[in-house]
């Protein structure tokens, strides 16, 4: 029997397949199906900073109006202490998942400023989350903002949380940093225990009929994995952080490549939304079969064996490969001569 276990954020997981933050964790039955299909941990959907703020504003307005006085309404408006906030509902869901599942549940905070997170971080820890994933999902749209200021913002949120929360913290990052490896090392020094590479940014689209900018969600394809695999290969062995990949992992081949590059776990989302929890079982069976066929005894044996530090030609992960790729292009008949 091949040993599929892996270490992630200090947790020993049965295998490297972990459903990432998505609506799948909102439904307890679906979460249970994921566990039954072999998920080794579960990342919850996020608690969003904007939603907390919007609700807080609405809440304030509501009680302000009540204080001004509508004598009749006072009797049927819910009282302050009955109020079940967005955060309370998130913590309740975390609690239910904890009760329902044997696998570790990782909570997710999604926001860009440190304010407020400390409190929620602590509450999430108390509610029994095995770890905390922090997703800054930040678009640097201000022309005055320097790259350094963006990095400092990430570090500030992390540092604040680290001071108050003792469970492992992992950062879900964008690929759009000038020097991702250096920045990740800074995150490690600031107390991060892991990184998830990379956020998929949803690109707004232009509707040519209405000329409106419309939000659009497209699920991923395997083509997106190579960006992640390259940066994992470059990172592996250079930090002690746990490494997760997220974005485009659909097939067993995608999963194996990420492990060879050095990933500790592979996050799955689009494939599970498309094909359902059972797909996880299929991927695990295929992974075990591939390892057996290629005479590996464990994931550990495979992990990082094609990272840059172990590659026969390390430059393949850098610019050298760029020239080879351009040179290797051959046009389809009749286009270029």
Closest by CA position to 94, among listed 129, 119, 138, 62: 129
Q: How far is the CB of 202 from ligand FMN (least distance, A)?
A: 9
List the one residue out of 216, 212, 129, 137 whose CA is nearest residue 165: 129
Angle between helices 117-126 and 147-164 (to 10 degrees): 40
Q: Where are the beta strands (DSSP E) in the chain?
A: 6-8, 11-13, 17-19, 42-48, 105-110, 131-135, 169-173, 194-197, 205-206, 213-214, 242-245, 265-268
Place of tokens 């039954």: 36
Residue 29 CB coordination number (10 Å): 9
Nearer to ligand FMN among residue 22 and residue 308 (C-beta): 22
Pick 218 or 313: Cβ nearer ligand FMN: 218
- Nearest to 54, CA basis, from 76, 85, 84: 85
* Identity of the residue, 158 or 268, whose beta carbon is nearer to ligand FMN in the bound complex: 268
Nearer to ligand FMN, 4 or 42 (CB): 42
Contact positions vs ligand FMN (CB under 6 A): 20-23, 45-46, 108, 110, 135, 172, 200, 219-220, 246-249, 267-270, 273
Task: Kindly write down the DSSP assignment for every residue of 55-78, as one continuous string.
Answer: HHHHHHHHHHHHHH--HHHHTTSP
Tokens of 279: 């797909």
Supply the minimum distance, in Å, between the C-beta of residue 82 and ligand FMN: 27
* Among 271, 306, 290, 307, residue whose Cα is nearest residue 17: 271
DSSP H or E run through 22: none
Residue 306 CB, nearest distance to ligand FMN (Å)?
21
Q: Please tell me whether residue 3 adopts helix, strand or coil conformation.
A: strand
Q: Which residue, 137 or 177, is less far from ligand FMN as judged by CB? A: 137
| Residue 234 Cβ vs ligand FMN, minimum distance, rounded to whole Å | 20
User: Between 20 and 307, whose beta carbon lies closer to ligand FMN?
Assistant: 20
Provide the minimum distance between the beta carbon of 112 and ligand FMN in the complex, in angstroms, as a whole number: 13
CB of 34 to ligand FMN, least distance (A): 13
Nearer Cβ to ligand FMN (106/288): 106
- Least separation in angstroms between CB 269 and ligand FMN: 3
Q: What are phi and psi of 242, to 5 degrees?
A: -75, 150
Task: Please state, as a whole number, how many other Cβ atoms lie within 10 Å of the Cβ of residue 317.
Answer: 18
Q: Is 44 helix (H, G, I), strand (E, B) or coil?
A: strand
In the bound complex, what is the minimum distance in angstroms from residue 285's beta carbon to ligand FMN?
19
Is 2 or 18 the residue whose CB approaches ligand FMN more closely?
18
Q: Which is nearer to ligand FMN, 117 or 296 (CB)?
A: 117
Shortest Å distance, C-beta 125 to ligand FMN: 18
Pair type for strands 17-19 and 42-48: unpaired
- CA 191 to CA 182: how far, in whole Å? 15
């Amino acid at each position: 029997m091949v040993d599929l276990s892996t270490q992630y954020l200090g947790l020993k997981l049965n295998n490297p397949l972990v459903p990432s933050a998505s609506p799948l964790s909102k439904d307890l039955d679906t979460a249970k199906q994921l566990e039954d299909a072999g998920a080794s941990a579960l990342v919850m959907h996020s608690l969003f900073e904007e939603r907390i703020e919007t609700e807080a504003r609405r809440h304030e307005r509501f009680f302000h109006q009540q204080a001004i006085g509508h004598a009749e309404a006072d009797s049927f408006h819910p009282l302050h202490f009955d109020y079940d906030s967005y955060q309370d509902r998130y913590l309740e869901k975390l609690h239910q998942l904890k009760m329902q599942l044997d696998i570790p549940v990782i909570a997710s905070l999604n926001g860009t400023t440190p304010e407020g997170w400390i409190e929620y971080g602590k509450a999430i820890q108390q509610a029994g989350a095995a770890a905390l994933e922090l997703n800054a999902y930040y678009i640097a749209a201000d022309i005055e903002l320097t790259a350094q200021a963006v990095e400092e913002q990430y570090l500030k949120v992390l540092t604040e949380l680290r001071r108050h929360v003792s469970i492992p913290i992992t950062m879900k990052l964008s690929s759009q940093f000038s020097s991702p490896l250096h920045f990740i090392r800074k995150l490690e020094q600031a107390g991060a225990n892991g990184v998830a590479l990379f956020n998929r940014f949803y690109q707004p689209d232009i509707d040519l009929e209405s000329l409106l900018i419309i939000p659009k969600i497209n699920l991923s394809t395997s083509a997106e994995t190579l960006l992640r695999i390259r940066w994992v290969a470059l990172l592996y062995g250079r930090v002690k952080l746990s490494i997760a990949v997220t974005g485009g992992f659909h097939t067993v081949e995608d999963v194996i490549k990420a492990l060879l590059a050095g990933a500790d776990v592979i996050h799955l989302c689009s494939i599970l939304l498309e094909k359902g929890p059972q797909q996880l079982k299929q991927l695990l069976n295929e992974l075990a079969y591939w390892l057996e066929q290629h005479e590996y005894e464990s994931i550990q044996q495979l992990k990082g064996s094609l990272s840059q530090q172990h590659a026969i030609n390390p430059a393949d992960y850098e610019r050298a490969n760029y020239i080879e790729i351009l040179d290797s292009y051959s046009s389809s008949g009749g286009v270029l001569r």
